[in-house]
Amino acid sequence: MFGLVRNRTYNKKKILVMGTLFLAVLLFLAARVVFLIYYRGPELAEKAKELQERERTLVAQRGQILDRNGVILAENQTVYNISVIHNQIEDEKAVVDLLSEKLDMDADVVYEKVSKVTSIEKIKNNVPKDIGDEIMAYGLKGIKVDEGSKRYYPYDNLASKILGFAGGDNQGIIGLETVYEDVLAGENGELISTTDARGVELDDYMETIEEPIKGDDLMLTIDYNIQCYCMQTAEKVYRQKEAEGVSIIAMNPQNGEILAMVDYPEFNLNDPFSFTGDFSECTDLNEMWRNSCINDTYEPGSVFKIITTAASLEENIVSLDEQFFCPGYITVDDRTIHCHKTTGHGSENFVEAIGNSCNPVFITLGLRLGVDRYYSYFEKFGLLEKSGIDLPGEAGTIMHDKENMGQVELATVSFGQSFQLTPVRLMTTVAALINGGTTVVPHLGKTIIDSETGESTPISYEAGESIVSSETSETLRFLLEKVVSEGGGNKAYLEGYEIGGKTATSQTLPRSDNKYISSFLGFAPADDPQIMILIKINDPQGAYYGGVIAAPVAKELFENILPYLSVLDNKQ
- Report the C-alpha gap between 451 and 517 in whole angstroms: 44
Strands laid side by side in the 516-524 sheet: 258-264, 245-251, 531-538, 516-524, 500-507
Catalytic residue among 247, 302, 506, 519: 302
pLDDT at 473 (0 to 100):
98
- Cα(144)–Cα(141) distance, rounded to whole angstroms? 8
pLDDT in tens, 225-237: 999 999 999 999 9
Over the chain, what is the mean pLDDT? 90
145-171 residue pLDDT tens: 888 788 999 999 999 999 999 987 889
363 contacts 338 by C-beta, under 8 angstroms: no
Mean pLDDT over residues 549-562, rounded?
Answer: 97
pLDDT, tens digit, 9 for 90 and up, residues 246-269 = 999 999 999 999 999 999 999 999
Question: What single letter denotes the amino acid at residue 396?
Answer: G
Q: What percent of the chain has pLDDT over 70?
A: 89
Asked whether the predicted pLDDT for residue 323 surpasses 80, the reply is yes
- pLDDT value of position 203: 54
Residue 3 confidence (pLDDT): 54
Cα dihedral 82, 86, 87, 93, rounded to 10, equals 100
Give the pLDDT confidence score for residue 10 in this predicted structure: 61
d(CA 216, CA 183): 6
Closest to 123 in 3D by CA, of 133, 134, 135: 135
Task: Provide the percentage of residues in the chain whose pLDDT is more than 90.
Answer: 69
Q: Does the bond joining 300 to the residue before it have cis omega, within 30 degrees of 0? A: no
Identify the bridge partners of residue 192 per DSSP, sorted by sequence position.
Answer: 55, 208
pLDDT at 59 exceeding the cut of 60: yes
* Residue 118: pLDDT band with limits 50, 70, 90: confident
Whole-angstrom CA distances from 297 to 88, 294, 404 are 59, 8, 21
Task: Give the number of residues written for the chain.
Answer: 572
- Burial code (b: 16+ CB inside 10 Å, e: under 16) for 26-61 equals eeeeeeeeeeeeeeeeeeeeeeeeeeeebebebbbb
176 has pLDDT over 70: yes
Q: How far apart are CA 247 and CA 229, in angstroms?
A: 13
Preceding peptide of 265 cis, ω within 30°: yes
Residue 225 confidence (pLDDT): 97
- What confidence score (pLDDT) does residue 497 get? 95
Tell me which of 61-65, 369-373, 417-421, 565-569 is least confident.
565-569
**pLDDT of the residue at 8:** 62
pLDDT tops 50 at residue 568 = yes
114: confidence class by pLDDT, cuts 50, 70, 90: confident
Return the higher-pLDDT residue of 56 and 308.
308
pLDDT band at residue 122 using 50, 70 and 90 as cut-offs = confident
Mean pLDDT across 43-58: 56
Single-letter amino acid, residue 566: S
The full DSSP string for 164-222 is --B-TTS-B-STHHHHTHHHHS-B-EEEEEEB-TTSPBPTTSPPEEE--BPPPEEEES-
pLDDT at 61 > cutoff 70: yes
Considering only residues 62 and 50, tell me which one the structure prediction assigns the higher pLDDT. 62
CB 490 within 8 A of CB 484: yes
Evaluate whether 218 touches 176 at the Cβ level (below 8 Å): yes
Mean pLDDT of the region 259-284: 95
* Range of weakest confidence among 55-59, 148-152, 248-252, 551-555: 55-59
Q: Mean pLDDT across the stretch 84-111?
A: 88
- If 0-12 CB within 10 Å is exposed, 13-18 middle and 19+ buried, where does residue 291 land? buried
- Say what the pLDDT of residue 51 is: 46
The CA distances from residue 139 to 34, 72, 134, 301, in Å, are 48, 37, 10, 68
Give the pTM: 0.86
CA distance 523 to 108: 62
Distances from the Cα of 318 to the Cα of 230, 304, 351, 504, angstroms: 37, 17, 11, 22
Q: How far is residue 147 from each of residues 80, 132, 189, 452, measured CA to CA in Å?
A: 5, 9, 12, 21
Closest to 149 measured CA to CA, from 271, 273, 54, 64: 64
The span from the CA of 419 to the CA of 413, in Å, is 7
Mean pLDDT of 30-47: 61
Task: Identify whether 302 is a catalytic site residue.
Answer: yes
Domains of the chain, first to last: 54-220 (3.90.1310.10), 224-267+291-564 (3.40.710.10)
Choice between 289 and 35, residue whose per-residue pLDDT is larger: 289
> Which has the minimum average pLDDT: 7-11, 167-171, 188-192, 382-386?
7-11
Higher pLDDT, 392 or 81: 392
pLDDT of residue 56: 64
Average pLDDT of the residues in 502-509: 93
**pLDDT given for residue 351 in this prediction:** 97
**pLDDT: is 192 or 563 the higher one?**
563
